[in-house]
Amino acid sequence: MSGEAVTENVGVVVAVRGSVVDVRFDARLPPIYSVLRTGEHGQIVIEVLAQRDARHIRGIALTPTQGLARGMAVEDTGGPLQAPVGKGLLSRMFDVFGNTIDREAALTGVQWRSVHRAPPPLARRSTKSEVFETGIKLIDVLVPLERGGKAGLFGGAGVGKTVLLTEMIHNMLGHHDGVSIFCGIGERCREGEELYRDMKDAGVLPNMVMVFGQMNEPPGARFRVGHAALTMAEYFRDDEHRDVLLLVDNIFRFIQAGMEVSGLMGQMPSRLGYQPTMGTELSGLEERIANTDTGAITSIQAVYVPADDFTDPAAVHTFSHLSASIVLSRKRASEGLYPAIDPLQSSSKMATPGIVGERHYLLAQEIRRTLAQYAELKDIIAMLGLEQLSAEDRGVVARARRLERFLTQPFFTTGQFTGLKGKLVSLEDALDGCERILRDEFKDHPESALYMIGSIDEAKAKTKPGGSATPAGPESTIAAKTDPKRTTGTAAKATPEPHPKPQQEVAHAAAMDES
């Protein structure tokens, strides 16, 4: 340790077990949350989590503990973990300690603040209800987000959470004059690097801050990186009075890091191996995401759902903090219906007539009803075939399938691999399209004409003059009725689910023509 540290509070390592370090302090026991430094250059950072007795603390390392040995001196820094705040943060990328990791110039003009802060008191919170438009049809129509609210994107691995989050950053930056803070917790490092590059290319970096504690880092770092990001968000809200968009990918990893820390600290696990303190830890973080009279923090959080089990305690606890839950479904993703949001499982407390208006509300209700009826009819269609349905039910199916396709949308961020240019759709256009589909204006258009488009007028452009009379592609109800092979039960099962990936669709259609 350095020479001047001798006059400071110095302890001695007495035990090291993975990330957990016990230290003896003979003079003065550092309080909880104190940060200790040890190692040859003070590179090992430990946060105090427990005072074992009058002389011993137990802490969790926020850095790897390689080279740490019993008997090594430990310096008490005399304060908690701190994060930088200030204008200088903009366009920079940080780790949990507030070190820049973007290989740019040194950080200037910042102050340092403790990452442990209390949520704003009730009296300072504001309760405006204003809708936050995303330009994504399905979200704006059926699951409107709240400005200053918390929205969760729930889903198992690989269903499109990160893509949707990135798309939202992209769409938001045009008409959102606030600051965006992206916090990567426990996901792949590569994703952070890609995001940084994408944001730089898109020219949106000047209003963005990124903080990462990814999956290669020790549990302590992943556990605290969310607090560091929130400290920065609170600075922009409270000191600069700006609106903040806080994106978290992935909040489940925060809970998971807490579980690892708790396990390492020797606490008994609770349900399904989760830490007994999960509820308090999560609310300690989530409650800081609040609106005050000076500014709002809108947060969108990806929530990994282990094994696609939505009754998992981590998912359930997270649900309870959110004002909108967007549930991504593997089934829709496998059908190519991106964004793979399950409209019947997703919900938003903004979807009330008082907030979105009577017309939007009634329309959303009707869309949900149509989709729900179709979901019920699916079993009958699978068993008996579409022909057995009444004409009225067939109408419902046709409308629902057209709605489902119209509610897909090409994304800017997936342009490289879908080959389709992204589309931003205003709420008005989205509502208009849904209304016209419900009024059967498009019943003679092929379903594929509605797939991966922006506003509904593109469907008209996609269908060539006279084209509306031709059979509507492989997934169409007409094809199902006329194709002789499809009258058997097995064929009927294949009927309802299309493969609407554009290339596949074309291939399919070609195959159908030949047969």
Ligand X SMILES: Nc1ncnc2c1ncn2[C@@H]1O[C@H](COP(=O)(O)OP(=O)(O)O)[C@@H](O)[C@H]1O
Report the interface residues with ligand X, using CB under 6 A. 155, 157-163, 338-339, 411, 414, 418
Considering only residues 157 to 176 of the shown chain, the ones binding Mg ion according to CB under 5 A are 161-162
Q: How many chain residues interact with Mg ion (CB under 5 A)?
A: 2
Find the shortest distance in angstroms from Cβ 163 to ligand X: 4
Q: Is 161 an active-site residue?
A: yes
Backbone angles phi and psi of 125, in degrees to 5: -85, 150
Closer CB to ligand X, 20 or 172, in the complex:
172
- CA torsion 115→176→425→437, rounded to 10°? 70
- Interface mask (CB under 5 A) for Mg ion, residues 125-164, using x and -? ------------------------------------xx--
362 binds, among Mg ion, ligand X, none (CB under 5 to 8 A by kind): none
Calpha distance 171→169 (Å, rounded): 6
- The residue type of 465 is P
- Interface mask (CB under 5 A) for Mg ion, residues 287-306, using x and -? --------------------
Catalytic residue among 47, 146, 187, 505: 187
Catalytic residue among 52, 70, 124, 188: 188
178 binds, among Mg ion, ligand X, none (CB under 5 to 8 A by kind): none
Find the shortest distance in angstroms from Cβ 198 to Mg ion: 14
Find the shortest distance in angstroms from Cβ 346 to Mg ion: 18
Find the shortest distance in angstroms from Cβ 9 to ligand X: 44
Q: Is 401 an active-site residue?
A: no
Calpha distance 143→162 (Å, rounded): 18
Calpha distance 320→317 (Å, rounded): 6
418 binds, among Mg ion, ligand X, none (CB under 5 to 8 A by kind): ligand X
With tokens 């898109």, the residue in question is: 202
Closer CB to ligand X, 223 or 411, in the complex:
411
31 binds, among Mg ion, ligand X, none (CB under 5 to 8 A by kind): none
Catalytic residue among 113, 161, 332, 423: 161
> How many other C-beta atoms are found inside a 10 Å radius of the C-beta of residue 447?
24
Closer CB to ligand X, 418 or 455, in the complex:
418
Closer CB to ligand X, 162 or 301, in the complex:
162
Q: Is 188 an active-site residue?
A: yes
Closer CB to Mg ion, 161 or 332, in the complex:
161
Instruction: Please give, one letter per residue, the 3-state secondary structure of 241-286.
Output: CCCEEEEEECHHHHHHHHHHHHHHCCCCCCHHHCCCCHHHHHHHHH
How many angstroms separate the Cα of 113 from the Cα of each of 12, 31, 178, 202?
A: 27, 17, 21, 31
Calpha distance 234→183 (Å, rounded): 14
> How many other C-beta atoms are found inside a 10 Å radius of the C-beta of residue 81?
23
Q: Which helix (H) or strand (E) holds 83?
A: strand 82-85
Find the shortest distance in angstroms from Cβ 474 to ligand X: 20
Q: Which of 505, 130, 88, 101 is nearest to 350 (CA)?
A: 130
Calpha distance 415→418 (Å, rounded): 5
Closer CB to ligand X, 236 or 252, in the complex:
252
Q: What's the full length of the chain, in residues?
A: 515
Closer CB to ligand X, 153 or 285, in the complex:
153
Strand segments (E) across 95-221: 111-114, 131-132, 145-146, 150-155, 179-185, 208-213
Q: Output the residue with the shortest Cβ distance to ligand X.
A: 160
Find the shortest distance in angstroms from Cβ 304 to ligand X: 7
160 binds, among ligand X, Mg ion, none (CB under 5 to 8 A by kind): ligand X
Find the shortest distance in angstroms from Cβ 24 to ligand X: 44
- Contacts with Mg ion by CB under 5 A lie at 161-162
Catalytic positions are 161, 187-188
